[in-house]
Amino acid sequence: MESAYLTLDRIDIRILEILQKDGKISNIKLAEEVNLSPTAALARVQKLTAEGYILGYEAKLNPKMLGANFVVFVEILLDKTTPNVLDAFSEAVVQYPEIMACHMISGGFDFLVKIRCANMEAFRHISGQVLWQLPGVKETRSYPVMEVIKDSSQLHLNFKSKVKAKK
């Protein structure tokens, strides 16, 4: 089965690249950047949104200015990995805004979570009042971040050679 992105052409990919960098770009400026009319550019964006390539738009906030500059990654081991325990954990973890990301992983632990908060004291509170209250948690290992070198949510769209040319 072919991947969904194979239906994108060079203009679609360029639109995605531009919007990823500047979600507030005006439709007129976007149209200029991709050499389309504003109507055609808007139609492309609407189609990319309807097809699920564009999930939404967010402002990138400054965590330091908002008191959330302390980052901790936490490995979580569950007591069991039965479907009901995994489901209960997954349903619970999404309820906590302090948890920025949660990934089920393979290896020595079951989940890796990313937490942002004000400081170590705030993390200790989150650890006791949130992490250890999640269903099935048996063990955690925490890794406070000393310095953030790169933190991006932008996808690398370097698959142009795999894109089918639309006629």
Residue 167: pLDDT above 70? no
DSSP state letters, 12-68: HHHHHHHHHH-TT--HHHHHHHTT--HHHHHHHHHHHHHTTS---------TTTTT-
Q: Is position 159 within any domain?
A: no
Total number of domains constituting the chain? 2
pLDDT tens across 69-127, in order?
Answer: 999 999 999 999 999 999 999 999 999 999 999 999 999 999 999 999 999 999 999 99
Taking 70 as the threshold, does the pLDDT of residue 2 lie above it? no
Q: How confident is the model at residue 158 (pLDDT cuts 50, 70, 90)?
A: confident
Tell me: pLDDT of 162 over 80: no
Distance CA 41, CA 27 (A): 7
pLDDT given for residue 6 in this prediction = 57
CB 157 within 8 A of CB 93: no
pLDDT value of position 3: 52
- Which residue in 35, 4, 34 sits closest to 17, CA to CA? 34
* 24 and 67 fall within a common domain: no
CATH of the domain at 18: 1.10.10.10
Please name which of 48, 60, 37 lies closest in space to residue 15, comparing C-alpha atoms.
48
Distance of alpha carbon 30 from alpha carbon 40, whole angstroms = 10
101 three-class SS? strand
134 falls in which pLDDT band (50, 70, 90)? very high
46 assigned to some structural domain: yes
- What is the span of the domain harbouring residue 21? 10-51
- Comparing 7 with 139, which gets the higher pLDDT? 139
pLDDT, tens digit, for every residue of 11-62?
Answer: 999 999 999 999 999 999 999 999 999 999 999 999 999 999 999 999 999 9
Q: Left, alpha or beta for 77 (phi > 0: left; psi -120 to 50: alpha)?
A: beta
* Domain match, 86 and 112 both: yes
Neighbours of 111 (CB within 10 A): 22
